[in-house]
């Protein structure tokens, strides 16, 4: 694996493994001409997905930006007035660097993930946890049990009067911290179906602002603990599931939440 892209791909691999959502990722650097490949890493992250079209579209996004993206500044797919280019969102170019993610029905999800991975190329970022919420307590309990079986782990309960949460710790040599968490949540106050990834970075506001600038999505306020940012980026998948990226200033464990 190219050390140039190692950290970004590692983040993607851990994220999509935790959420069981394999996504095809392309990380590319153009050479000094701006239109040839100097370095590239392109593969499935988080396992191999079931839709081979993701490979086609992910690569198409990246090479569209290599061919017609701006050599300086920000370019995104689709490129206007380029009929041979990929017509979908999800590809991002910033100067010589190109990132694409492909797997999601709503291509805006691909785009916010590409923005996250682009940010990872230039900043110290670590994956903290993936979180799921469920419309019923029984679904939440069943999903937690499946997660414990899949990762051969136990769950840690953290309940409140109107919210029940279970955290499954997953040991991983790929994580700089040796582990990550998977959260399963049911709220009687606001039952929902959602998925979020929580990222640890020294400047969480800068990360959220960057994804917002790239995607055109205004951050949404959230109620979280003192170590989490009070805003998140939210996209609705086509099935109605809320997909979000959150950030925190420290990589901390449950006992500090």
92: Cα separation from own chain's centroid: 14
Which of 122, 146, 162 delimits the end of a domain?
Answer: 122
Please, are residues 195 and 130 in contact by the beta-carbon 8 Å criterion? Answer: yes
- The answer as to whether 14 is a domain residue is yes
What is the distance between the alpha carbons of residues 44 and 23, in angstroms, rounded to a whole number? 6
Tokens matching residue 81: 């007035």
Instruction: Check residue 226 and give its pLDDT.
Output: 57
Please report, to the nearest 10 degrees, the dihedral formed by the alpha carbons of residues 71, 95, 4, 233 taken in order.
-140
**What distance lies between CA 189 and its chain's CA centroid?**
27
Residues 11 and 117 in one domain: yes
CATH number of the domain to which 20 belongs: 3.30.450.150
Q: Are residues 238 and 131 in the same domain?
A: yes
In the DSSP assignment, the letter for residue 256 is G
Same domain, 108 and 170: no
Instruction: Please tell me whether residues 143 and 21 are part of one structural domain.
Output: no
**Left if phi > 0, otherwise alpha if psi is -120 to 50, otherwise beta: which for 46?**
left
Give residue 105's domain range: 6-122
Q: Are residues 100 and 202 in the same domain?
A: no
Paired strand residues for 165: 185
In angstroms, the CA 123 to CA 101 distance is 19
Residues 82 and 117 in one domain: yes
| For the ranges 99-103, 121-125, 223-227, the one whose mean pLDDT is highest | 99-103
What is the chain's length? 257
Domain boundary among 102, 122, 142: 122
CA pair distance 121, 126, nearest whole angstrom: 12
What stretches of 69-222 show up as alpha helix (H) in DSSP? 107-122, 137-151, 204-215
In a domain, 224, yes or no: yes
pTM of the model: 0.94
- Are residues 112 and 22 part of one domain? yes
Which pLDDT tens digit goes with each residue over 46-87?
Answer: 999 999 999 999 999 999 999 999 999 999 999 999 999 999
- The answer on 141 and 92 residing in a single domain is no
Tell me what pLDDT residue 252 has.
Answer: 77
Report, in this order, helix, strand and coil percent for the chain, each rounded to 5.
Answer: 30, 30, 40
Q: How many domains does the chain have?
A: 2
Tokens of 252: 């901390």
The 10s digit of each residue's pLDDT in 231-252 is 899 999 999 999 999 999 888 7
Residue 136 shares a structural domain with residue 228:
yes
Query: What would the pLDDT profile of 103-148 be if each residue is shown by its tens digit?
Result: 999 999 999 999 999 999 999 999 999 999 999 999 999 999 999 9
pLDDT of residue 4: 77
């Amino acid at each position: 694996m190219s050390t140039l892209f190692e950290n970004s791909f590692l983040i993607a691999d851990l994220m999509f493994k935790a959420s069981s959502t394999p996504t095809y990722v392309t990380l590319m650097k153009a050479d000094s001409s701006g239109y040839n490949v100097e370095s590239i890493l392109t593969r499935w992250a988080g396992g191999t997905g079931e839709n081979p079209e993701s490979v086609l579209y992910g690569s198409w996004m990246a090479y569209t930006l290599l061919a017609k993206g701006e050599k300086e500044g920000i370019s995104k797919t689709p490129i206007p007035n380029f009929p041979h280019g990929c017509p979908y969102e999800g590809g991002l170019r910033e100067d010589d660097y190109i990132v694409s993610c492909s797997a999601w029905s709503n291509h805006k999800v691909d785009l916010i993930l590409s923005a996250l991975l682009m940010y990872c190329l230039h900043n110290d970022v670590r994956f903290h946890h993936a979180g799921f919420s469920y419309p019923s307590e029984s679904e939440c309990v069943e999903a937690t049990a499946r997660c414990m079986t899949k990762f051969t782990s136990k769950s840690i309960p953290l309940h409140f009067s109107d919210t029940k949460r279970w955290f499954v710790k997953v040991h991983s040599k790929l994580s700089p911290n040796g582990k990550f968490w998977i959260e399963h949540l049911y709220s009687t106050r606001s039952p929902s179906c959602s998925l979020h990834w929580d990222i640890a970075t020294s400047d969480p506001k800068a990360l959220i602002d960057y994804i917002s600038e790239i995607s055109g999505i205004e951050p949404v306020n959230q109620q979280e603990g003192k170590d989490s940012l009070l805003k998140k980026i939210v996209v609705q998948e086509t099935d109605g599931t809320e997909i979000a990226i959150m950030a925190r200033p420290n990589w901390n464990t449950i006992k500090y939440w």
